[in-house]
Amino acid sequence: MQAEIITIGDEILIGQIVDTNSAYISKELNKIGISVYQITSVQDEHTHILTALSEANNRSDLVIVTGGLGPTKDDITKQTFCDFFEDHLVENQEVLKIIHELFRRVVKQPPLPSNLTQALVPSKAEVLPNSFGTAPGLWMQQDKTVFISLPGVPYEMKALMQEEVLPKLQERFQRPYIYHKTILTYGMGESAIAELIKDWETALPTNIKLAYLPNLGRVRLRLSSRGPNKKEVIKGVENQIKTVLPLIESVFVGFEEEGHLEVIIGELLSKRKQTLSIAESCTGGQIAELITAKSGASAFFKGSVTTYATQTKIDVLNVSEALINEHTVVSAQVAEAMASQVQKLFKTEFAISTTGIAGPTKGDALDEVGTVFIAIASPNGLFSEKFNFGNNRKKVIERATNKALELLRKEILKN
Amino acid sequence: MQAEIITIGDEILIGQIVDTNSAYISKELNKIGISVYQITSVQDEHTHILTALSEANNRSDLVIVTGGLGPTKDDITKQTFCDFFEDHLVENQEVLKIIHELFRRVVKQPPLPSNLTQALVPSKAEVLPNSFGTAPGLWMQQDKTVFISLPGVPYEMKALMQEEVLPKLQERFQRPYIYHKTILTYGMGESAIAELIKDWETALPTNIKLAYLPNLGRVRLRLSSRGPNKKEVIKGVENQIKTVLPLIESVFVGFEEEGHLEVIIGELLSKRKQTLSIAESCTGGQIAELITAKSGASAFFKGSVTTYATQTKIDVLNVSEALINEHTVVSAQVAEAMASQVQKLFKTEFAISTTGIAGPTKGDALDEVGTVFIAIASPNGLFSEKFNFGNNRKKVIERATNKALELLRKEILKN
């Protein structure tokens, strides 16, 4: 079973928003054994949408369309569906009830006439009720192809996928099992890794696909396979992983499907009933933000301090002013003092600190742009390392964040 | 002049990564007057790429392709270009030199044979040198259509766009001027806004396009226009904005092109030489992260504390334990105490605090999931407001962050 995604909206084509809907839909479809052949983003323009629908119709069994379902004039998906399916709009009583209910409960005002037009749907459509907004999802069929139209607002689209689209697809279609497993590595380039594993790669069976995904000092190796028998598909991939891991042991960090580094760290600390605090300077709160993005962080994360100005390192963290004057604020000594002080202040087993120059300007520091010291305090002691992460501000912050989590994970495992 | 973007990579179609490259390229092309007609994401598969190239060739004057240029076996873009252009690969001496140089300077090891294959390029291609990686960009022409191939790694792609692609496009092609301006509103739904401005919208000249972009309590209204005369294009849009603003005065926040709220706040504070500190609980560092994402934050941002655990609100911020016991940790009183304490601790004019329950579990709190108190301390005094931001964790954090910045901006303007 092959799917396509069509996202509608000028905001995508002028780069005003990043299309995150497609990635979400692709991932969810993959989980239930449906692979996505192509993603196409088109303008809010009648002929363009019609062409995209008819091309997708010729290629795929399932087409998921997002966007263009709002109550305003620039939203034309419903009318275009009518033209494509030679259909017309009719008022749907179920949707009308949901709209009235939503306005009574949430908006606390009566709906406007334009809100009520949201209850108009193509007569041939099966309506998928939207719990978070006025635009319902639509399920329509042309020849053998199923077309599903969903609103473009991400949380409405996600709720409709979970509550309506995925259960119905699973119920109505036979699908193979698809399995991906992604090896995370750190510290070696993709060609060097390819060299290490080339004999293994050449011998891979044809039903297992390998992809290299390089980014900022990390290379991810994704193995993918599919087939009718779930157990055999998983076994095939897992056996290959067993063979390849010893070849890349020195750079192996973990598996993406087991969660990102911050999730792995959270699980480690929760299991050990140990706690973490963070003192951030150049990373500006990014590490804390990653750590708290997942629910459950309160089990191990006590809190963090972002001491962006030099003076606050003295006032808030009690780092000695003499130490800063002697070694400068971007130094191993100050990084270690920050980690040790935040560990004390928040009464935690582990603490991370960062101090550096994210750039492009140098702030209070004398060192080169890109220089970052990371310190880790643990029940075992205190250490720091110096890095240079280049001259791109975002990249420096991201790499420093990754590296800090990397060092922390290793330190936790030693304790 | 009409462009298309083709992004190549299974990682996009299985939802493993979000395609941010397309948004970047679209935005940059728009700035120089080139509009993007369609974005297509296709698999690492020879026939599929060939089909996408030939369809784009029939529709557009410029096709930018990203991805599939790495040194490993899953990278097939160059070979597919050769087939499409009836060409073959030749070794390019300039690229070879760059590769050797990059390995000497950065990798500090001699290149592997697979790295040297990166110097093989189609004989008809104009090479665009890549300063950050081994894969060069390629500029090729078929009939009247220009095809540009760029690496998929975002920072390499961005550098090539800035250093090579955009200057060459500007030099070689006549382009119209494109102008977008986006009105930011807060606190009213899109249909209600549409109702307020419907007469104005109906009277809009056909060369000015209006789009409604709703998301999480904010609606953005984008006006777009294009034409040969830059001054007239801008004047046309700005005149319409002058007419519409009085109609939506109560919900108008600013213009997206003048920067997001955090940028506006940074500029306000820097100009006034005033400073900010933050005490975050449920937002977990997100506000500080937004504030420090842009360079120059050290001019006004002293730092922040994320007191995730209740005990750290007492230990680090000196919030009184009795106050917490009396009012619970998620309360107006605790929010205000946090703002006032962090303002004192960091010695700043302004301070923000948040305390709430992001969910899905309730942590230390008794209140409903989604409840958030936001407090603002300023030279004028101290206040807090209570909100409920729903039951989706990410949404609660994002809305609380937006709301806190919103309240802060208003408070700064009063001082």
pLDDT digits (tens, 9 = 90+) for B97-139: 999 988 888 777 899 888 899 999 999 999 999 988 889 999 9
Q: Which residues contact A229 (CB under 8 A, 6 or more apart)?
A: A177
Residue B215 contacts residue B199 (beta carbons within 8 Å): no
Mutate to test the interface with A, among B17, B31, B41 (most CBs of A within 10 A): B41
Residue B107: the pLDDT is 76
Question: Which of these, B284, B261, B265, B283, lies nearest to B275 by C-alpha position?
Answer: B265
> pTM of the entire structure?
0.74
What is the pLDDT, as a whole number, of residue A217? Answer: 67
The residue type found at B45 is E
Kindly tell me the burial class for residue B220, based on how many C-beta atoms sit within 10 Å of its own C-beta (0-12, 13-18, 19 or more). buried
Instruction: Quick: pLDDT tens for A329-380.
Output: 999 999 999 999 999 999 999 999 999 988 776 655 667 888 999 999 999 9
Residue A133 pLDDT class (50, 70, 90 cuts): confident
SS3 letters for A345-382?
Answer: HHCCCEEEEEEECCCCCCCCCCCCCCEEEEEEEECCEE
Task: Identify residue A232 by its one-letter amino acid code.
Answer: E
Q: How confident is the model at residue A83 (pLDDT cuts 50, 70, 90)?
A: very high
Residue B396's pLDDT is 86
Residues of chain B with pLDDT under 50: none
Which residues 198-217 of B are in CB contact (within 8 Å) with A?
Answer: 201, 209-216
List C-alpha distances in Å: B114 to A334, B75, B204: 43, 12, 57
Q: Is B60 on the interface with A (CB under 8 A)?
A: no
A221: three-class secondary structure by DSSP:
strand
Cβ neighbours of A247 (radius 10 Å): 14
Which pLDDT belongs to residue A363? Answer: 59
Pair A291, B290: CB distance under 8 Å: no
**Is B26 in Cβ contact with A12 (below 8 Å)?**
yes
Q: What is d(CA A99, CA A116) in angstroms, rounded to the nearest whole number?
A: 7
Q: Taking CB atoms and an 8 Å limit, are B114 and A286 in contact across chains?
A: no
% of chain B with per-residue pLDDT over 70: 98
User: Could you give the percent of chain A with pLDDT greater than 90?
Assistant: 67
Residue of A nearest to B28 (CA): A15
Q: Can you give the pLDDT at residue B406?
A: 86
Q: Is A347 on the interface with B (CB under 8 A)?
A: yes
Q: Is A304 on the interface with B (CB under 8 A)?
A: yes
Residues from chain A that touch B393, judged by Cβ atoms under 8 A, are 295
Instruction: Kindly state the tokens that stand for A193.
Output: 């890794």
User: What is the helix (H) or strand (E) element at residue B414, kind and residue range?
Assistant: helix B393-414
CA distances from A295 to A300, A402, B147, B312, B363 (A): 11, 20, 45, 19, 9
Contact across the interface for B306 and A309, Cβ inside 8 Å? no
> Per-residue pLDDT tens for A286-332?
899 889 887 788 889 999 999 888 898 999 999 999 999 999 999 99
State how far Cα B72 lies from the chain centre.
Answer: 30
A102 falls in which pLDDT band (50, 70, 90)?
confident
Portion of chain B with pLDDT greater than 90, in percent: 68
**Which pLDDT score is estimated for B162?**
94
Q: Which of B19, B31, B298 to mutate to test the interface with A (most CBs of A within 10 A)?
A: B298
Measure CB to CB from residue B303 to each of A40, A111, A316 and give the nearest one: A316
Cβ atoms of B306 and A304 within 8 Å: the answer is yes
d(CA B279, CA B288): 9
Helix, strand, coil content of chain B in percent (nearest 5)? 45, 25, 30
Q: What percent of chain A has pLDDT over 70?
A: 98
